[in-house]
Amino acid sequence: GAGVSQSPSNKVTEKGKDVELRCDPISGHTALYWYRQSLGQGLEFLIYFQGNSAPDKSGLPSDRFSAERTGGSVSTLTIQRTQQEDSAVYLCASSLQLTQGSGNTIYFGEGSWLTVV
């Protein structure tokens, strides 16, 4: 597609429910990232995928968070047993490759706004 597409754009869920957030990166981009943006906290790195390599999960805040990327394209971020502190905007991004030094830009989607009540 023309840009990074995320769905849903808004999600309200009850505490304890599981949620899935979807990201469709720019066609041909091999690197895909998930970030979390909380009010006043900037952007927190969660996980990235690069081609067929094992994902870097070092930013995931707890084992309730997981992500997968099928066929090297679409990615799903899953949050199990949601808590109120999970409320945030979840941003997906993609780039041609991970190495920023080569000049490749990371392109962001508009985010999925998650509210846990």
Closest CA relative to residue 12, chosen from 99, 114, 105: 114
Question: What is the DSSP annotation of 54-92?
Answer: PPB-TT--STTEEEEESTTS-EEEEE-S--GGG-EEEEE
Give the binding range for other proteins (CB under 8 A) out of 17-25, 71-79, 80-88, 92-100: 92-100
Stretch that binds other proteins, among 14-22, 41-49, 62-70, 79-87 (CB under 8 A): 41-49
- Of positions 88, 111, 114, 116, contacts other proteins by CB under 8 A: 111
Q: Each residue of 71-90: b (16+ CB within 10 Å) or e?
A: eebebebebeebeeebbbbb
Q: Is 84 in the site for other proteins (CB under 8 A)?
A: no
Which of 26, 33, 60, 69 forms a contact with other proteins (CB under 8 A)?
33
Q: Is 49 in the site for other proteins (CB under 8 A)?
A: no
| Among 21, 23, 25, 35, contact with other proteins (rule: CB under 8 A) | 35
CB atoms within 10 A of CB 57: 13
Structure tokens at 14: 């009850």
62 sits near other proteins (criterion: CB under 8 A) = no
Question: In this chain, which of 53, 78, 83, 99 binds other proteins, going by CB under 8 A?
Answer: 99
